[in-house]
Every structure is written in structure tokens, then in C-alpha cells.
Amino acid sequence: MKIVAYNGSPKGKKSTTHIMLNEVLKGAMEQGAEVVNYTLSEKNINHCKGCLHCWYVNKNECIINDDMNEAISYFQDMDILILATPLYFDNVSGMLKVFLDRCIAYGSYFIEKDENNESKHLDSFKEKHGGKQAPRIVVICNGGFAEQSQFQAIEFMMDRMARNMSTEVVAKIFRGQGPLLSMGSNEQLKPIIENYKRLLRQAGRDIASKGIITDAIQIELDKELIPIDVYNSNINNR
């Protein structure tokens, strides 16, 4: 089992995204998974120019010479793709979106219909990797607002993207009140954060061993860390 995670926070290893990702990957490694933790903020990945040279001129070759070739070199043999991002304007960060846009170079431009008779791109992964199933997707996202409802748009976007990639999102780890996770030196928050990290490690073990997160762990992961009104008033009175 190979798991490749892309961290799309501009804060890189200082981000809440990193804290979450780190625990999930620790759990996965405990189950023997091979993991790659790829921090996009440390790389030079430029915007897609939209020229479609990669589709119409040289198949799968991007004209931009930057770290994207290295970034996608892990696609070869991965089983699980983790997309980790802070919630920015209800969506993925610009940094993760730039990376995703650049992935167009490695997809197929041919069109087929899915099981609902809706058009999508052809599954290019199978063709390129000897019939191997496209990697299943795990989404990790944290936001500043407290409610789990804040993640509706990113959830929808990820499901749509997976459909187009002939795969599925197998786990969604969404964390409202995300900034609390970097406040581990606070004595009151410490046990709450430690408990949440324990759940993340369990989620990582589940993903590596079963390919999904069990319902019981998902329910625990979705619980608020502290009461929403307390969280909001702490922010408002800062």
C-alpha cells in the first residue's frame, strides 16, 4: 500500500494541515504503508497556462519546466492519494488548486459516459499503469469556522473531481476550529488535541488496512473540539 499526500497549505510544515496529515500518515505507517508527505509550499509549481500543448501537441508533456514532474513522479504506483488543504473561501487553497490544474497534463482528453450517462474524461490511469485502478482519494481539510457544514463546497468539488478521474473519495477528514490544533501548549486544550490526534492516527490505520475510515471513528472525528459559542466568543474577544 503506497499513500502519497500533497499538503496545499502555504504555511507548509508550520500549518494545521501538516499537524493533521502527520498523524494520519503515522497511523498508516504503523500498518506498514509506504508514505510520501509532499509539501507543495516548498516547491516551485507554476500556474497552468491553458495552452493544452499536453493534449494536442505532445501527449502528457507540459511545456512548463518546474517541480511538477517531480511532484507527479509519485503517481506511478500510489494506491491512495491524499489531498490536504486549509479551507480558503469554502474551497481548496490556491496552492492546491494550482497543483490540481497542472495534473491535466497527465489525464486523457478523450470523453466517455459514466454510469449516469454523464460525460467525463476517459480513465487514463488504467491505460498508463497496466490496468491499475486510479488511486482512491482521501481529503483532509481544516478551516477557521467551527461548523462541519463549512466543508460542503469542498466535499462536492472533491466528489466531482474524483468522478472525472474514474475514482472515488473514500475518506473525508474535515476539521472546523482547525487553529485550535496548533495550541497544544494550552493546558486546557492539550487533552482535547491529544484525543483528536489519536483519532487521526486511527483513521490512518483504517485507511491503510481497510481503505476507508470506520463509521465509529468518522463520528468521533466530526465532533466539535470545544463548544462553538465558546470558540466564537474566544475569537471575538481576542
Ligand X SMILES: Cc1cc2nc3c(=O)[nH]c(=O)nc-3n(C[C@H](O)[C@H](O)[C@H](O)COP(=O)(O)O)c2cc1C
Which positions touch ligand X (CB under 6 A)?
9, 11, 15-17, 86-90, 142-145, 150, 178-179
Least CB distance to ligand X at residue 11 (A): 4
175 Cβ contact partners less than 8 Å away, ≥ 6 residues apart: 16, 20, 141, 142, 143, 181, 196, 221
Give 183's contacts (C-beta < 8 A, 6+ positions apart): 189, 193
Residue 86 vs 204, nearer CB to ligand X? 86
Smallest separation (angstroms) from ligand X to the CB of 153: 9
Q: Any idea how long the chain is?
A: 238
Query: Which residue number is nearest to ligand X in terms of Cβ?
Result: 143
CB of 195 to ligand X, least distance (A): 19
Q: Which CB, 179 or 211, lies closer to ligand X?
A: 179
User: Whose Cβ is closer to ligand X: residue 87's or residue 158's?
Assistant: 87
Minimum CB distance to ligand X smaller for 92 or for 199:
92
CB of 97 to ligand X, least distance (A): 12
